[in-house]
Amino acid sequence: MTKPVIALAADHAGFPLKEIMAEEVRALGYTALDLGTHDATSVDYPDFGHAAAEAVLDGRAGMAVICCGTGLGISMAANKYPGIRAALCHDATTARLSREHNDANILALGARVIGTEVARDALRAFLDTPFGGDRHAGRVAKIDQIRTKEAVL
Ligand code: RB5
């Protein structure tokens, strides 16, 4: 089976980890689509969260890996897009469960929070784990069903 293209994006804080993740993605036989940033010059994390989300939604990539200092800001930006489920993961367990239960399509990592070996383990778990479907499918479908104040009242 053809392996999906994996997009990678990071701000300056996530840049070193993004480079390591790109190397790992290629070593695992996937095609990496590197959306930047490409050096340690200060940039704004939302630009890269948006770029990764758009690559997944328009089909240039099947999944994405995004990195900033904490993984928080870049995942918040990506998660503004309906259909994007960016999971901020801290280890292989959260990465595995983000796929199994939440059908996450973007792995978010905090380069200043986790070590590179833990990040590698999380990446492998994320890429290796299929969505569990079944009882989780309806819950995932509800994520994009935003309830407005008017609808609730
Ligand atoms: C950059 O200094 C830092 O704020 C950013 O990488 C990220 O951690 C934001 O959530």
- C-alpha to C-alpha distance for 42 and 111, rounded to whole angstroms: 15
Q: Which of 75, 125, 131 is nearest to 104 (CA)?
A: 131
Residues 21-54 have pLDDT tens digits of 999 999 999 999 999 999 999 999 999 999 999 9
Catalytic residues: 68, 101
Domain interval for residue 138:
6-152
Ligand 1 center–CA 45 separation, angstroms: 7
Q: What is the pLDDT along the chain (153 residues), one digit of tens a residue?
A: 789 999 999 999 999 999 999 999 999 999 999 999 999 999 999 999 999 999 999 999 999 999 999 999 999 999 999 999 999 999 999 999 999 999 999 999 999 999 999 999 999 999 999 999 999 999 999 999 988 777 665
- C-alpha to C-alpha distance for 105 and 98, rounded to whole angstroms: 9
Would you give the distance in Å from CA 75 to the centre of its chain? 7
Q: Is residue 1 part of a domain?
A: no
Q: Which of 82, 81, 85, 108 is nearest to 95 (CA)?
A: 108
- C-alpha to C-alpha distance for 127 and 112, rounded to whole angstroms: 22
Q: Is residue 60 part of a domain?
A: yes
- C-alpha to C-alpha distance for 9 and 7, rounded to whole angstroms: 7
Q: Any idea what the CATH number is for the domain that residue 98 is in?
A: 3.40.1400.10
Q: Is residue 63 part of a domain?
A: yes
Q: Is residue 89 part of a domain?
A: yes
The pLDDT assigned to 129 comes to: 98
The pLDDT assigned to 81 comes to: 97
Where helices occur in 105-148 by DSSP H, the ranges are 116-128, 135-143
Q: What are phi and psi of 67, to 5 degrees?
A: -135, 135
- C-alpha to C-alpha distance for 77 and 58, rounded to whole angstroms: 17
Q: pTM for the whole thing? A: 0.96
**Total domains, the chain:** 1
Of 18, 43, 68, which is best to mutate to test ligand 1, by the most ligand atoms within 8 angstroms of its C-beta? 68
Q: Is residue 123 part of a domain?
A: yes
Q: What are phi and psi of 65, to 5 degrees?
A: -125, 125
Nearest-CA residue for atom 8 of ligand 1: 69
Nearest-CA residue for atom 4 of ligand 1: 69
Atom number, ligand 1, closest to the C-alpha of residue 70: 8
